[in-house]
Structure 1
Amino acid sequence: MFGKIIGTGSYVPKEIVTNKDLAQYLDTDDTWIRERTGVKSRHISGDKETTADMAVKAAEKALENSGLLPDEIDLIIVSSVSSNLVLPSTACFVQKAINAKNAFCFDINVACTGFITAYNISQTFINTGLINTALIIGAESLSKITDWSDRKTCILFGDGAGAVVIKKDENAMFETVMFSNGKNGDALTMENPFALRKTNLGKNHQGQFDIAFQDIQKTYINMDGGEIFKFAVKKVPECIEALLEKIHMDKDEIDKYLLHQANSRIIEGIAKRSKIPLEKIPLNIEDYGNVSSACIPMLLDKLNGLDEIKAGDKIIMAGFGAGLSYGATYLEF
């Protein structure tokens, strides 16, 4: 037995940065950015708004949409590469904020494949009988780890959070395929600034710590866009095909394909290679940019709010990104 999505929620910061805003100091313009990425604008969190705060707001909306009470949640998983918290976990912060006192909580870091990974973990917990309900959140403040002078990355990313509530259901359908290709992980990297601190105790005459950041550039997102494009356009169709074989379905039987919103050109390349009609691939990248693990749950919430997903719809979610990791998951709404 598996779980079904019974509630969705999302949150984005109020501040919007448009392509025209970026063109004021970057060598670019709105047309150049749109043609290469599909992004028109992105939401940016302020100095006083954290990843954990956004995760809470998305969680509250998903809970309200589900009709469940906070103490009915058994598991909370937050996926993020940009949380403001190292300790405690962002998931525990969410638990405290929404008073989900009965939930077991933890974070994962699988970048843009993170929401699918968290969803799959929750389904495993449900299937083994350990839990009945789960709250899954993707939350990101990518603006905090983006070099805003680097044209090849800053035009892509935004901030936000998306969440779903899953509940055990005897009619729920679930299947997945998951892969990683660590040997090509250098295509998308960012080092933890803590790891770049050099600490020398007793090296000076006062016996003080010598702490300094050795290479601040490494603490921003660094990406080989061409390599990511080739990887996604080749591997995502392969994992979608592998999933379809596992569930014994043809691609035209699927109602919607919810792909990670990395770049409109990548999505178009995946559609072309997979021979999937673009009308079956909904987008929200134009208004939000790439929000890493928050992309798919934010898109789910948008479609749910617009009644563009109906009960019984057959859906494949596919994520891809840093790791390099990629995977696809089947569900029925």
Structure 2
Amino acid sequence: MGQRNQSGTEQVTEFILTGFQLSLHMKALLFVVLLIVFLLTLAGNITIIILVCLAQQLQTAMYFFLCNLSLLDILFVLTITPKMLENLVSLKQTISFLGCAAQCYFYFFLGTAEFILISVMSFDRYVAICHPLRYAIIMNSHVCAWLVLGCWMGAFLSTIGPIALLFQLSYCGSNVIDHVFCDYAPIIKLSCNDIHFILALESILSSVVLLSSLSVTGFSYLYIITTIVRMQSAKGRLKAFSTCASHLTVASTFYGCSIFMYALPSQGRSRNVQKAVAVLTAAVSPLFNPFIYTLRNEKVKEAFRDCLKWSALKL
């Protein structure tokens, strides 16, 4: 469980993830469900990436951002789900100290990058609907590349500090994390150091990311709705709304789950409810994105049909 450090106290070398307290039959059922969701998530998001890379009609800013969203979702589920599946069938539900640090960092790094990317996609929809004639000029390939790079760099800079400090703390007591994966709040509770500075830093950085992302998304859709309402043609309004409906659905789901987990007070909330929402966000939500865009977007469906025809001809 631990080893002696220089001060003579025992330092934790591995953590135990409690997960869900379920019967063997329920664990087996949950394993099957999560495995199916995991495989479908990989298949759906890989399909989106392939379509965007191959289909000429998808070579626009919107689908470039969608491709990056799919990449983030793939990395997100690869960070969380395999260990979750392993713990469901293992008698020893442990994770090494370094493994926990890596999982915690990539969970927040990728989640933050997705948060920022969703706000970038909101801005993209704003330009497409409010400035359609200038869309290709404003959202050119260089701008898109810099915006995506900004997502990754912003996520890196806002998460590396708190996570690095978190795993420099001493963990000399319990090593039991009451969660399904290595999340920030359950881990920091186990530390035997003063955590006020780290909590303040994490709160400031997460608030900046949350408020800035929500502000960009909120103002973008405020202008989008205003523009749509002013349109004379009902057909034009429907077409304009359909171009952002998929993104609005994805943004609402992601923001809603994230705010429930990290922004709202957790007092009086069942731990099982918190764990269920965490699983929904980390393992299930990435499944929705490719299917939401596929079901609602005619260009993606057309590109998918073209790829199937091309594959059939090759065979």
TM-score w.r.t. structure 1 length?
Answer: 0.29
TM-score w.r.t. structure 2 length?
Answer: 0.30
Q: Which has the higher strand share?
A: 1
Structure with higher Rg: it is 2
